[in-house]
Amino acid sequence: MQRINKLIPTVLTEIKAPSTKERPIFTPNPGKVFEFETFSDPQLEAMLGEANCLACGYNDPDPQPIGLTFLGSCGTGKTHLAKRLYQIAKTQPHLMQHRELIRPVQYWFWPRLLDEFRNEIRAPGPCRLMAELLRCNFLGLDDIALDSTGFGVEKLFQLIEGRISRRKRTVITSNLRLEAIAEVDRKIASRLLRLGPVITVDTVDYMLRFGQTPGPSLIQEKSAEYRCERGFPTIFAVGVGG
């Protein structure tokens, strides 16, 4: 099976045909949902279901929840799905508007963001990056890790705590489990739960599961009845056999 490279935002229906220089504009439709093409996995269904709920709230001025965290195994689509949520956010005019920020919707690979923080500290002049990330309308943080120096832990806590207090939409991915995060810093684990649903995926990497055999796309565009009523626990972790 191929990697998740054809995930289409079926939770959103296109309502306007813009000029070629504009991004397409989508509107939430709770009657659509990301759906598996060939098989069902309860953990991945939980991940897609929560992503659908978050996207359905893009037009809500007071969204519930404001964020989402994907944790667990490599190769299960966490990053891909987070990027799709980011890309969909960029199609929302109200999220792309900000009186002070040029980039009101942002997505960062965590190690690169830490490098940017360090470079800003060494450079002359005021440090503006943290303030910008706290105020942007949507922020994706991919592959977060907690370093032994404490620098990354401090920055991550500042970001999560600040965005929760400002009620800004935030999507986070990590290969760590919530228990491992709590061992390093219980405050961060607590804030992730406060941010929104935490989905832990323990299923097998697609490339390992299917032996890198080419095949039809894992996910395709389908219509499905979905009522934005989450039937999944806050932390969804069910063991899946190899």
pLDDT value, residue 224: 29
Q: Where are the domains of the chain?
A: 12-236
Q: Rounded to a whole number, what is the distance in angstroms from the first to the last CA of the chain?
A: 16
Q: Are 23 and 91 in contact (CB under 8 A)?
A: yes
pTM exceeding 0.75: no
Beta-carbon contacts of 97 under 8 Å, excluding residues fewer than 6 positions away, are 104
Task: Give every residue of the chain whose pLDDT is below 70, as ranges.
Answer: 1-40, 204, 206-242
The domain defined by 12-236 folds into: Rossmann fold (3.40.50)
pLDDT value, residue 206: 62
pLDDT value, residue 190: 96
